[in-house]
Amino acid sequence: MREQPEQQAPPVQRLRVRYAKRGRLRFTSHRDFSRAFERALVRARIPMAYSSGFNPHPRISYAGASPTGAASEAEYLEIGLAENVDPVRLAADLDQALPDGLDVLEVVAAMPGNLADRLEASRWQIDLPQPVEAVRAAAELFLGRETVIVERMTKKGLRSFDSRSAVLALEVTPYAGGARVAVVLRHTEPAVRPDDVLTGLRGVGGLADSGAPLVTRLAQGPLDEARGTIGDPLSG
């Protein structure tokens, strides 16, 4: 009879972490980040709680990870600990253990409920090396449509979906000889990403493909439908 695995004790403390992906580290995939984060937990000697089973792993819950290639100031995860620790001290120790460009911004005690459920929308900044007039014209055409169908290759193959319905706000302003697009996206299934919005702009407005844009997530959290604003998912 196969020996049963040891049952691990439940976490005594849960903490939620906000971190950033900056500079060249924006090209870090989610898998690469998770490996780097687990190594940092070991280096910082964080007293992690572990799952039960034949292959115990540290209790880490990732939520709303940004796509590879996008910078972000608002990435979130939750960890379960085997001991109570000071969140401020843990933030400093963990930030020091991570490589430059993966930066811990805030650590707080977890509130009741699922962290992923609080991430309802994101605010993005997209910098394009294109004339602002052309981008504004494409944006007006995009916003004037009820639907803008785009295609993207997914794990399940080529998929078509509406990129317009997820866009809650879109504004174009001049930036460093080009255009800056500020867009607020509702989190949907399938998820609409900033590159999907750009595909839609190109499709309806004839916007040229001028190479990889600089994409940065500035915020994600609960959506205030009345005001169209995004709240802090770590606050009460």
**13-117 and 120-230: same fold?**
yes
Cβ proximity of 118 and 221 under 8 Å: yes
Reading the block at residue 123, the tokens are 């605010």
Flag residues of the chain having pLDDT under 50. Answer: none
> What is the per-residue pLDDT for 4?
62
- Give the separation between CA 226 and CA 223, rounded to whole angstroms: 9
Please state whether beta strands 60-63 and 157-162 pair in parallel, antiparallel, or not at all (unpaired): unpaired
Q: Count Cβ neighbours within 10 Å for each residue of 64-73 and write b for 16 or more, e otherwise.
A: bbbeebbbbb
Locate the domains of the chain by residue range.
13-117, 120-230
DSSP string, 10-55: PPSEEEEEEEEE-GGGGG--HHHHHHHHHHHHHHTT--B-B--SSS
CA atoms within 13 A on the CB side of 27: 4
126: nearest Cα among 18, 205, 211: 211
> What is the per-residue pLDDT for 9?
80
Class of domain 13-117: alpha beta
User: What pLDDT digit, counting tens, does each position of 152-183 carry?
Assistant: 988 788 889 999 999 999 999 999 889 999 99
- Give the separation between CA 233 and CA 218, rounded to whole angstroms: 13
| Average pLDDT of the residues of the chain | 93
CATH dotted code for 120-230: 3.30.70
With vertex at residue 127, the alpha carbon angle to CA 122 and CA 129, rounded to the nearest 5 degrees, is 155
Cβ count within 10 A of residue 90: 21
